[in-house]
């Protein structure tokens, strides 16, 4: 199965971008709205804090002025009754000021908690919307790394996608969606005949340690961290045991370097020797097999873990506005090219070519996409303007269904095929 433009030319992104665009517009609009609400909450909180601070400062000034005036109007040799009156008046004034400050602090804490709860609720919704959006939208990557951990006999998997402009997105992967990864994996599933000097021979009458060749084919992968130029692999004999061997493979151009570390044997670790060219070649084969075996796991996204932009958490630091602008900048040229190749100017269409010479069309009306943005104020609508979906519609509810009579196959059917 492959994807084509509306004019039947190959669609180079090679996936259901129409479905991803619908998700982007729907969830992106929700993110933009919630992000704006968070900014309003912060602004209202700051305004309330400034107003309280102003009131507190005014109270302090008035209290000091009043006390100073009281002292000035009372002669030092005044009547004892008057002196007692002033003393008690000062005590009451000090008590009133203290109680007022306490009331202001309580109101401050109460409002801060309400703001925190409301902001966190919106951040959770934003995170959920971004998870749905990024599960379908495929951004160009500079580097990708995959991590696996064998926990209680099952593989836990995650992927980290590095994009341009220091954007890093992490996803938990679903091993349940990957039949090969539903159970522990052995080395021999990625490369056979892997022999390394990991066998340990100890002297009878000394503490000398020598490495002997041993096969790793039946060793289980306890953990794996696969990056562009670096692979860290940890092995164990049984699923219930701890990792006993760590293997590090690093690439620099055409050169490959490798190291072996003993995790549960300090003496062997102390006496480990550099690997020769034969052992390094074995590990290079294993590395290539691991990379091939992991090539199809990136589509099994299950849960968004984090979005980092220039080292800042996009959701926790309320940086979603800029993030959405970057996504729009990425999607706009693709949308423009789809529009240019779609016969109907009011639609965006792709075709799906299957075996047997069958081509089926998927499409969406631009007006329906624009309607999904109808929840946004004009200032937020402008963020999505580069998509050229038409005029901002009236404040009507977004359309529940997209497409028309000319659709041969629904989007859900395409996604499941």
- What phi, psi does 395 have (nearest 5°)? -75, 65
Residue 181 tokens, joined: 């990864």
Q: Which residue has the tokens 């996608």?
A: 161
User: Rounded distance, CA 44 to CA 344, Å?
Assistant: 46
Burial 124-143 (b: 16+ CB within 10 A, else e): ebbbebbbebbbbbbeeeee
Instruction: Give 245-295 as a DSSP string.
Output: EEEEEEEETTEEEEEEEESS-HHHHHT-----HHHHHHHHHHHHHHHHHTT
User: Rounded distance, CA 352 to CA 407, Å?
Assistant: 12
Angle at 77 (CA atoms; ends 72, 80), nearest 5 degrees: 100
User: Rounded distance, CA 362 to CA 342, Å?
Assistant: 11
**Taking a C-beta distance cutoff of 8 angstroms, is the pair 362, 411 a contact?**
yes
User: Rounded distance, CA 259 to CA 275, Å?
Assistant: 7
Of 126, 127, 163, which Cα lies nearest the Cα of 143? 163
Angle at 154 (CA atoms; ends 150, 159), nearest 5 degrees: 65
164 burial via Cβ count (<10 Å: 0-12, 13-18, 19+): exposed
Residue 227 tokens, joined: 């990056």
pLDDT of residue 380: 92
**Taking a C-beta distance cutoff of 8 angstroms, is the pair 223, 243 a contact?**
yes
The tens place of each residue's pLDDT in the chain, 417 residues long, gives 899 999 999 999 999 999 999 999 999 999 999 999 999 999 999 999 999 999 999 999 999 999 888 888 877 677 888 888 888 999 999 999 999 999 999 999 999 999 999 999 999 999 999 999 999 999 999 999 999 999 999 999 999 999 998 999 999 999 999 999 999 999 999 999 998 887 666 555 555 656 778 899 999 999 999 998 999 999 999 999 999 999 999 998 888 999 989 888 787 777 777 888 999 999 999 999 999 999 889 889 999 999 999 999 999 999 999 999 999 999 999 999 999 999 999 999 999 998 878 899 999 999 999 999 989 999 899 999 999 998 877 654 555 544 433 333 232 332 333
Residue 89 tokens, joined: 């008046």
**Taking a C-beta distance cutoff of 8 angstroms, is the pair 304, 134 a contact?**
yes
First-to-final CA distance of the chain? 9
Of 229, 232, 245, 132, which Cα lies nearest the Cα of 196? 245
User: Rounded distance, CA 36 to CA 405, Å?
Assistant: 37
Classified as helix, coil or strand, 3 is strand
Q: What is the pTM of this model?
A: 0.79
Output the CA–CA distances (angstroms, integers) from residue 73 to 61, 70, 222, 330, in the order listed.
18, 5, 84, 74
pLDDT of residue 73: 82
Residue 93's H or E segment, with its range, is helix 80-136
User: Rounded distance, CA 143 to CA 164, Å?
Assistant: 10
235 burial via Cβ count (<10 Å: 0-12, 13-18, 19+): buried
């Amino acid at each position: 199965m492959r994807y084509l433009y509306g004019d039947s030319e190959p669609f180079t992104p090679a996936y259901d971008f129409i479905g991803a665009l619908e998700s982007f517009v729907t969830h992106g609009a929700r993110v933009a709205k919630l992000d704006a609400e968070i900014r309003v909450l912060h602004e209202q909180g700051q305004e309330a804090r400034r107003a309280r601070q102003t009131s507190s400062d005014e109270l302090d000034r008035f209290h000091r002025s009043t006390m100073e005036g009281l002292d000035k109007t009372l002669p030092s040799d005044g009547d004892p009754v008057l002196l007692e009156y002033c003393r008690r008046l000062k005590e009451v004034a000090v008590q009133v000021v203290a109680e007022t400050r306490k009331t202001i602090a309580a109101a401050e804490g109460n409002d801060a908690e309400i703001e925190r709860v409301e902001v966190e609720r919106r951040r959770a919704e934003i995170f959920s919307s971004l998870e749905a959006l990024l599960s379908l939208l495929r951004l160009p990557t500079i580097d990708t790394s995959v991590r696996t951990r064998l926990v209680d006999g099952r593989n836990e998997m995650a992927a980290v996608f590095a994009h341009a402009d220091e954007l890093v997105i992490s996803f938990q992967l679903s091993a349940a969606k990957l039949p090969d990864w539903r159970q522990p994996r052995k080395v021999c599933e990625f490369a056979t005949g892997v022999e390394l000097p990991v066998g340990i021979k100890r002297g009878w009458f000394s503490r000398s340690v020598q490495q002997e060749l041993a096969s790793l084919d039946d060793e289980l992968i306890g953990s794996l961290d696969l990056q562009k130029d670096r692979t860290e692999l940890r092995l164990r004999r049984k699923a219930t045991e701890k990792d006993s061997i760590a293997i590090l493979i690093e690439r620099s151009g055409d050169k490959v370097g490798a190291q072996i570390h003993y995790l549960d044997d300090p003496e062997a670790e102390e006496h480990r020797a550099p690997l020769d060219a034969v052992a390094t070649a074995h590990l290079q084969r294993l590395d290539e097999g691991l990379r091939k075996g992991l090539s199809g796991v990136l589509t099994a996204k299950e849960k968004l873990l984090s979005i980092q932009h220039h080292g800042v958490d996009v959701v926790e630091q309320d940086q979603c506005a800029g993030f959405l602008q970057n996504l729009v900048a990425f999607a706009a040229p693709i949308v423009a090219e789809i529009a240019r190749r779609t016969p109907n100017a009011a639609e965006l269409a792709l075709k799906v070519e299957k075996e047997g010479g069958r081509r089926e069309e998927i499409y969406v009306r631009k007006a329906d996409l624009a309607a999904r943005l109808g929840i946004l104020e004009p200032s937020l609508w402008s963020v999505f303007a580069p998509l050229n979906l038409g005029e901002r519609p009236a404040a009507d509810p977004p359309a529940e269904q997209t497409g028309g009579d000319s659709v041969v196959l629904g989007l859900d059917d395409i996604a499941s095929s």
